[in-house]
Structure formats: structure tokens, C-alpha cells
Chains A and B, each alone.
Chain A
């Protein structure tokens, strides 16, 4: 790891290898379509320290999954006529991934970085046993491993993620598992090579509420045990509330607020974050009270609203003196480590939150 003296790595593109374990700089992922260019991710930057957990939160279409696929190098047809255009930098442990060859990235996949997908039923191959699928991933990066050795490794992993009778279950097919067990198996598969970066894309969305908590607990336990960095991608702030060290809120392909988990929950700066907080299910409140949904629908990524992409849905857009529709707000530091992109003056925001939002949460 080389030293980087730059104090502003988040905006200073092309400044060389960063000191952080994962650093994303000005990532842009654009998909050309017949209707125009879909700017799924448009200038995203963030960093993640080793052993820390980052939550990326946003609606569907906000660009969070596209971001994770970019890190994993899983976009198809990159560089082809109708394939996505990816620019910016993704540094993982001192290696830049956007400009790296396909093969280099492939070798990192499953080994240094692994991913847990949203729906374990469709994400696992129906025709291979759970064991085969774990073993395959393991042996891909440990070609020297004997079959038997790989198999006992798979059984250990299944045991570790809490699957009973793992020596038997290892020979079952995914459809013979329950939903929660499948997700545990999926996690076991991701952990097969002891990855330093684990990306969990909506890991609990497809699961029952009770199972959700178990899975989140498992991820936290494993992170502490393996010391991996974790990115949890979700539309539900509640999922990352207790898990994430930092939270990044995305809207319309851009980061609109990020900061430590504690900051974001106690002093959220962006009206959109307020909406997310308001719509977060909380057990200690009555149903009617707790949901303040964000009105309207996500913006078109081809023709983003001018100015602040959130302005059509923002209840406070009229308080910016027209800047909402005129200029794109910069992501600026409000307090150290806490950044937000909003035209509302900081004091106005804090007043609105304190007076209008906080009482409802």
C-alpha cells in the first residue's frame, strides 16, 4: 500500500492508490439504450476501511446494485456497442479494478471479494447440490485442494453458518432447503475463500421477518470472526441500522448523503434521508404513526430532473430560492465525516428536522 498524502481523496480523481482498503472514485456506469443513456451511477465516490461495514441505502434504481456489480466486475458486455460504459476508479487493496483486465478481476472474484445475492433460490443453480456449488467456488481458487478436503471445508462452512447436519445437507439441492437455510448456504458459498470484502445485496429482502434478523446476526458474527469489510446494500435503513459503521444514501445514481451510522440516524441532513427514516419499520411504534413515505416515484435515469434530482419529490424545494431546479447540489461536508448534497441552508435543514421530522420518528 502506497502512501497518499491527499486529504481529499473523495473528489481528487486519479490521485493514485489510496490508503483505504476499498476506494471508489467518481464511478460512472452508463447504459446506452434505444431511448437514451441510462446513467445508473453518475459520479459516485466512497471509501471503506478494512473490517468495517458500509450500508448503501436507496430505492430500486438508485444505482446501489449497479455499484456493487461494478466492484465485482460483473457487468456484461463492457466495452461493447450496447454494453455499459464504466469510468472512474475502484481501488481494492491497492489494485485498480476498472482498468484491470477481465481475468485479473475474475481471479479476485470469489476470493478477495465475494457477494451474497438477494434471492438465494434463483441465485443458486438448481441442478447442482449445495455442496458442489460451494466446493466449485473453493477449488476455483484453491486448485491444489483435493476433492475430499474441499468437501470437508464445505461441510465446515455449512456448519459455521448454522446449518444442522451439514454432512448430510451438503449433498442436498437448493430446492431442498428452506429460504433461510438457502441464504445461509449462499453465505457459506461466499465465505468459501475467506474474502476480505463481502458484498451483501439485499440479503434479507426475500426472507421472513424472523429469519431476516438471524441472517443479519450471522453476517455480523462472521464479519467479526473473519475481519472482512462488508457492504450491505438495502432499500431498508432498518437493515443496516445496527450493522453498518457508515451509511451512504443514494438517489438517482448519486450519493446524496453519507456519514457514520450514528450521525445519520440522529442528525440526518437530507430530506430524502428523512423520508427513508420515516418509512423505516420500527417495532416500538404503531403502524399509522411510523410511516412517512417519500411521495412520488424514483426519477428517470435517462432524463434526471434538472437541478437537484430529488426536487420534484422534495417538500422543501420551494425554500431554496429556485436553486433546487437550477443547479445540481454539491456533496459538502456538514460536520466532519458527514456529507450531504442539499441546497437548503444547513440551519434551515436542522430546524426542519428538529421541528417537523424528529417528533414523528
Chain B
């Protein structure tokens, strides 16, 4: 983090490029280790724990009505008949190099990164996740844009008009946004805009951006707004609080003392300092969302990663749950890294080390 005030004629700002590359490399190594830890923990939860309890994890795959033949078949195919350490090794190997699941003529090749075969669809989890990822990504990207613009805008306005009617109204709305769960706001919004007012048509889950951009946009509008509402509220509050802090800073007074116009003081000096913590949180939120927005996706019937996650849970689809977990972990860890790098870029006091 920020060093002590350094004295010295040389006074080179920030780190050398090689040091930065070294730092990124070290952090990427960190990412790999983190993902390995997540993979190990999920594996542990789903396989080691049942094993320690002397129950058979295969029972989680086959449901409660399975017969012994089915159980044996699935055991062989998924490699559950092997010792636990070998299963773990195969799991890790599959992630890096791919693996094949085989039971007699019934062989499924699972290319790297192999997160297992979904028990529901009999296809590799990875393919399904990458197939569904665009839905989540579009949901997250659209919502993020909306909440960033409206959240930060409202927050700034509130801070500048502190205790005004606008401020109070915005903060009450924001409180509602923070407190109300998506499955409430989402359903109310649907009921209102689709069924009561008829402003939007019922969503059509069978269109994509490619097939019918107009219908797709109409599909995405409510999910975007609903999800953005939740986050915009947080951002409005955060922006307002940060902005008020920043406006009280000495350097803002200095900026005014230089005779700068209010636009420059707010837009340049105050915003620069306000946006840094906000963009940090933004990075983390976006990273988290890219792993799937379970509630929003399910309320609006969007088949993204969050839907896969819930579906995996309800259907006891262990490879799917583990896959989504790992996928989401990847985005969160990467978001962490990017936020740290970003911080080093925007805040000269932060040095990569």
C-alpha cells in the first residue's frame, strides 16, 4: 500500500515495468492457487465428506429410487469406484488436461478444463457453462452500466444537494433498493409492467441477441433494471457518503482556493477521489455477478450461470454445482486481481509489490 512519504532526489514514481510484470505474474500464480483451493474445497465437500460419513456420494447422483445396477454403472462411469485420492487426482487432471468418462461402450470425452459431466444432460459441464455464460455476461454488463450511471449519478446529486428533497427521496429509494430482495422487486416489476400496464410484452425465453435483437432487448430490460436497482441503491449510498467525505477534504478547498470553477472542482477533483473506492467495489460486484445472478436469472427465467447453479442444486447435479462454483470463483479471484491492478493505476500512492 501507500508508502511513507519518500524523500530523495531520484523520486521515481510507481514501479518499473518489469516489477509490474513480475507482480502480475505472481498474482496470476496466486489465482491458480486460489482456484486450486476452491476446487479442493468443493471436491472435499461433495466427495470427502460423504466418504467420511460412510455414505456413498453416488447416491447424490442417482436419486433415491436407483437400483443397484444403475448405481454400479454410474460409479464406474464417473470413477467413483476408485480410491478418493485417485478421484481427486483425476478431477484435477481433468481440469488441466481433460479426461474421459467411460463405462463400456458409453464413453464421454470431457476436454479441459473438465469440470465433470452433468448428470442431467450427460454433457461436459464446461461446455454448458460457456454456452450459458453470455446470458449472465449480458445481464451483468447491462445491469452494471445502468447501476453505475444511475447509482453514481444519484449519489453525487444527493451529496451536492445534501438534505434537500432530492437527497431525501433518493436515499429513501436507495434504502428500499438495498432492502428489497430481487425476487420481490422482480416479480412486482413483472406484474406491473407486463401484466398491469402492458408496457412490455411477456418475455420470450426463446430469443437471443442474434435471433431477434428487439425482443431480446425487451426481455432483458426488466432483469437489467431489477438487478441494477439493487446495486444502484448501494452505489448511490456509497457515492453519497464518499462524495461527502471527499467534499470535506482539504484538497477540495485548495482546488477552490485556486479559483477553479465548481464544475472542475466536483467533476475533476472530487469525482476522481470518489470514483476510486467505487470502481473497486464495482469490480468486485461485477466479478461476483459474472459467476451468476441466481435470483434474478431465476425470477426472469434467464438461462445463465445462476440458473445452472440453482438447477444443479435442485437436481443434485454435483458436477454442475462444482463447475459453477469454480467458474464463479475464477471471476471473483480475477476481479480481485484486476481491481488491485486498477488501484495501482489510479491511485499513485499504491505501489505494486
A residues sitting closer than 8 Å to B (CB atoms) are: 72, 74, 82, 106-111, 114-115, 117, 119, 121-129, 133, 136-137, 140-141, 164-165, 168-169, 171-173, 175-179, 181-182, 189, 192
Contacts and interface: CB of A to CB of B under 8 A. Distances in A.
Interface residues of B, number: 30
B254 interface: yes
A169 B347 CA distance: 18
A125 B5 contact: no
Nearest to B3: A175
Given A126-B348, A127-B347, A140 B258 contact: yes
A125 B11 contact: no
Interface in B220-256: 249-251, 253-256
Nearest to A173: B348
Given A172-B11, A176-B5, A123 B348 contact: no
A107 B253 contact: no
B159 to A, nearest CB: 12
Given A122-B249, A126-B251, A176-B13, A106 B7 contact: no
A104 B347 CA distance: 34
B353 interface: no
A110 B13 contact: no
B257 A177 contact: no
A219 B297 CA distance: 65
B315 interface: no
Contact of A127 (B3, B9, B11, B346): B346
A176 B349 CA distance: 8
Contact of B259 (A109, A123, A164): A109
B93 interface: no
B283 to A, nearest CB: 18
B76 interface: no
A179 B259 contact: no
Contact of B258 (A121, A137, A165, A171): A137
Contact of A110 (B251, B258, B346, B347): B258
Given A109-B256, A179-B5, 17 more contacts: A74-B256, A106-B256, A106-B259, A107-B259, A122-B249, A122-B250, A125-B254, A125-B269, A126-B348, A127-B347, A137-B260, A140-B264, A168-B11, A175-B5, A176-B11, A181-B7, A189-B254
B60 interface: no
B254 to A, nearest CB: 5
Given A122-B251, A125-B255, A126-B348, A178 B269 contact: no
B261 interface: yes
B273 interface: yes
B64 interface: no
6 contacts: A109-B256, A127-B346, A137-B260, A169-B11, A175-B348, A182-B5
Contacts of B349: 126, 173, 175
**6 shortest A-B CB distances, which residue pairs?**
A110-B259, A137-B258, A109-B259, A110-B258, A122-B250, A173-B348
Chain A CB within 10 Å, residue with most, of B257, B346, B347: B257
B168 interface: no
A106 B255 CA distance: 11
B67 to A, nearest CB: 67
B257 A171 contact: no
Contacts of B348: 126-127, 129, 173, 175
B259 A171 contact: no
B14 to A, nearest CB: 9
Contacts of B13: 129, 171-173, 176
A109 B255 contact: no
Nearest to B269: A125
Contacts of A189: 254, 258
A138 B3 CA distance: 30
A110 B9 contact: no
A128 to B, nearest CB: 8
A235 B163 CA distance: 35
B257 A74 contact: yes
A121 B5 contact: yes
Nearest to B276: A127
Contacts of B254: 117, 123-125, 133, 189
B16 interface: no
Interface in B1-35: 2-3, 5-7, 9, 11, 13
A117 B253 CA distance: 9
A82 B257 CA distance: 22
B260 A140 contact: yes
A284 to B, nearest CB: 32
Nearest to A109: B259
Contacts of A114: 257-258
B257 A108 contact: no
B82 interface: no
Interface in B336-353: 346-349
A137 B9 contact: no
B177 to A, nearest CB: 28
Contact of B253 (A74, A137, A169, A175): A74
B131 to A, nearest CB: 42
A123 B253 contact: yes
Given A74-B256, A106-B259, A175-B348, A125 B251 contact: yes
Given A121-B5, A124-B254, A169-B11, A137 B259 contact: yes
Contacts of B3: 175
Contacts of A176: 5-6, 11, 13
B276 to A, nearest CB: 8
A74 B86 CA distance: 72
Contact of B7 (A74, A140, A178): A178
Chain B CB within 10 Å, residue with most, of A126, A136, A177: A126
A175 to B, nearest CB: 5
A140 B11 contact: no
A125 B258 contact: no
B259 A140 contact: yes
Contacts of A119: 250
Contacts of A107: 259
Nearest to B348: A173
Interface in B291-341: none
Nearest to B349: A175
